[in-house]
Amino acid sequence: MTKRLRERYAQSIEQLARAETVIPLGSQTFSKSRTQYPVGAAPLFAERASGSHLWDVDGNEYVDLVSALGAVILGYADPDVDNAVRRQLRNGVTLSLATRLESEVAERIVELVPCAESVRFGKNDTDATSAAIRLASAFTGRDHVVALGYHGWQDWYIGLTTRDLGFPEAVKALTHRAPYNDLDVLQAVIAGLPDQVAAVIPEPMTSEWPVSGYLEGVRQLTSEQGIVLVFDEMLIGFRFAPGGAQEYFGVTPDLAAFGKALANGYPLSAIVGRADIMRLMEDVFLSSTFGGETLSLAAARAVLTRMATGEPTARLAKIGSQLMNAAQRSIDGYGASLVTLSGHPSWALLNWTLTDPDRLAEAKTLFLQEMLRHGVLVLGTHDITTAFTDADITAIESAYAHALTAVADGVASGDLRSRLECEPIRPLFTLR
């Protein structure tokens, strides 16, 4: 680690040592920890954020392309959202009875989301996806699940990955995976489990566009087989359209899980869907002291009011297109053989072409190191918000140019590792 970088991140390094004495990894979230941000070449602790910018504990300022892992969609400290929270704070946070806010927010979701006839709230993404799977099993009387994406940390999903320490083998055996955009494989997996599949749960899209007829085919197949179709819209919900990806693509699932952007960073998720399936919530056990916590619901009401106008999704598409074009110019000029960019303008992904695992880890870490050095907080995706400005896009394009030049030079010279001022970052997990 150079003296310059050591000084740039001195407070982060000091705080990590302190945090790890009482917190495993020093963070509550893998994606915010040293597993994803290299110690000594990256910030590890934030001090504050506003609009599209974040400041770390060392006082360094960044254009934030992570946006709280996509949980912020209107920008940090959005006035409408935060004022709604302040007003509610005077009336209490977690009360001894249900509140009218729960019904009001549920009604707004029902108005926006095509599949939503009924709603229940949770606090995080895994609450909602796991509730959907439990409901599907109760409704169908079946036990098996087919997963087509990433769906949280509960046993039923994460057992499919290499980070499966502590998960029962009996539970792992009930979840199966199929690749996105391959209807034939999905049909084969279901055929191998006749009358046993309770749910198929895809992310309707992340960085890969659905091929023509794919989502419609999944809808038809699940309907024919008596399988509950669950859309996991945690990542992209409210980014593509006010009613989510299901509105955008015109394919209506039986159930859907929303979170992240639902409350612009306040902790809230929702399981929504057909009334006949959701009615089983009266008997299926999903009960949480904080499910009706009012500050997050007040935030969600403010977010959904804005979403209903269509303005936020239109702005995300416009800003996202400008950013993708700017990033593509840097890729074309400095890294065309190394990376591609894919996805919807409101959420895009940087894809690396390197196949050697060691070189790939070194290239991705060097890219991260240099993007951070040039004032852009990034993990490899474009988690944009409506608060992004033209100046932000110009800054990101410049950082891309610097970072990709460093990586391209390192690949050409065969000395990627020597250019790193930290240890390479490795993938958190892989699918089995």
Q: What does the pLDDT look like over 220-230, one tens digit per residue?
A: 999 999 999 99
Catalytic-role residue among 56, 64, 127, 232: 232
Q: What are 152's two structure tokens?
A: 């949280």
Q: What does DSSP say about strands 339-344 and 46-50: parallel, antiparallel, or unpaired? A: unpaired
Structure tokens that stand for 345 in this block:
């303008």
Amino acid of residue 257: A
Residue keyed to tokens 């009360």: 95
First and final C-alpha spacing in the chain: 35
Tokens 């800003």 belong to which residue?
Answer: 319
Close Cβ partners of 9 (under 8 Å, ≥ 6 residues apart): 40, 41, 42, 43, 44, 56, 58, 60
Q: At residue 426, does pLDDT exceed 90?
A: no
Per-position DSSP letters for 231-294, written without gaps between them: EE-TTTTTTSSTT-HHHHHT---SEEEE-GGGGTTSS-EEEEE-HHHHGGGGTS----TTTT-H
Place of tokens 């949280």: 152
Determine the pLDDT at residue 90. 97
pTM across the whole model: 0.93
Contact criterion met (CB below 8 Å) for 352 and 381: no
The whole-angstrom separation of Cα 265 and Cα 152 is 17
Q: Which of 38-52, 171-185, 201-215, 417-431 has the lowest mean pLDDT?
A: 417-431
How much of the chain is helix, strand and coil, in % rounded to 5? 45, 15, 40
Q: How far apart are CA 11 and CA 391, in angstroms?
A: 28
Burial-class residue 33 by CB neighbours within 10 Å (0-12, 13-18, 19+): buried
Interhelix angle 100-112/294-307, rounded to 10 degrees, is: 30
Give the mean model confidence (pLDDT) for residues 388-405: 97
Q: Give 6 or 218, the one with higher predicted confidence.
A: 218
User: What is the model's pLDDT at position 155?
Assistant: 65
Residue-level pLDDT at 334: 86
Per-residue pLDDT tens for 55-77?
A: 999 999 999 999 999 999 999 99
Residue with tokens 């209903």, as numbered in its chain: 308
3-state secondary structure of 303: helix
Give me the catalytic one of 254, 260, 334, 392. 260
Residue 150 is among the residues annotated as catalytic for this protein: yes
Q: Are strands 61-64 and 376-377 parallel, antiparallel or unpaired?
A: parallel
DSSP class of 361: H
Give me the pLDDT at residue 204, please. 94
**Strands of 228-232's sheet in order across:** 118-122, 269-273, 255-258, 228-232, 197-201, 144-147, 175-177
Average pLDDT over residues 235-255: 96
Q: Judge whether 232 counts as a catalytic residue.
A: yes
Instruction: Return the DSSP state at 9.
Output: T
Q: Identify which has the larger pLDDT, 303 or 161.
A: 303
What the block records as the tokens of 144 is: 């098996």
Asked whether residue 125 carries a pLDDT value surpassing 80, the answer given is yes
> 76, 150, 157, 214: which is the annotated catalytic residue?
150
Q: What is the mean pLDDT of residues 265-282?
A: 96
How many other CB atoms are found less than 10 A from the CB of residue 149?
18
Of 70, 49, 73, 40, whose CA–CA distance to 372 is shortest? 40
CB 189 within 8 A of CB 200: no
Asked which of 284-288, 311-315, 331-335 is least confident by mean pLDDT, the reply is 284-288
Question: What is the pLDDT of the chain when averaged over all its residues?
Answer: 93
**What is the reported pLDDT for 432?**
47
Task: Characterize the bridge pairing of strands 118-122 and 144-147.
Answer: unpaired
Q: What is the pLDDT of residue 2?
A: 53
